[in-house]
Amino acid sequence: MHDLDMMHYFLGMEVWQDANGISSGQGKYAVEILKRFRMMECKSMTTPMASNLKLLSDSSSESVDATMYCQMIGSLIYLTNTRPYICFAVNTLSQFLTDTRHVHLIAAKHILRYLKGTVDYGLKYEAN
């Protein structure tokens, strides 16, 4: 058995340890998500979801390919490990995995645009 020293990066999670506590983030993973869905050049948003949730239940908008939408939502679900403030928006959109409409894809891209402006966010655990 070998001691591999302190953990720094594991399964998309970045971990920083010092005398003040432990910080974790997924900045590198967030950048990979933005690149994967071609959103690196997008304009950033200040909120993860638009406040008008009535649009999400709109069945009049056209259906879209659910494969990319499912991949997008799956990536965002894993990102909620270090970003609990996007949980509501991601959970709301995950309810439309079976009947994906264009309006749902726009809302998912809104979360990605928010992610663009918050790539360096993470969690901090204080040492006692």
Answer whether 0.75 is exceeded by the pTM: yes
Average pLDDT over residues 53-65: 74
Average pLDDT over residues 90-116: 91
Round to whole Å and give the CA distance between 17 and 19: 7
Query: 88, 122, 128, 82: which is closest to 107 by C-alpha?
Result: 88
DSSP three-state, residue 54: helix
- Rg over alpha carbons for the chain, rounded to the nearest Å, is 17
pLDDT band at residue 124 using 50, 70 and 90 as cut-offs: low
| Domain locations in the chain as residue ranges | 9-126
Spatial contact of 105 and 64, defined as CB atoms under 8 Å apart: yes
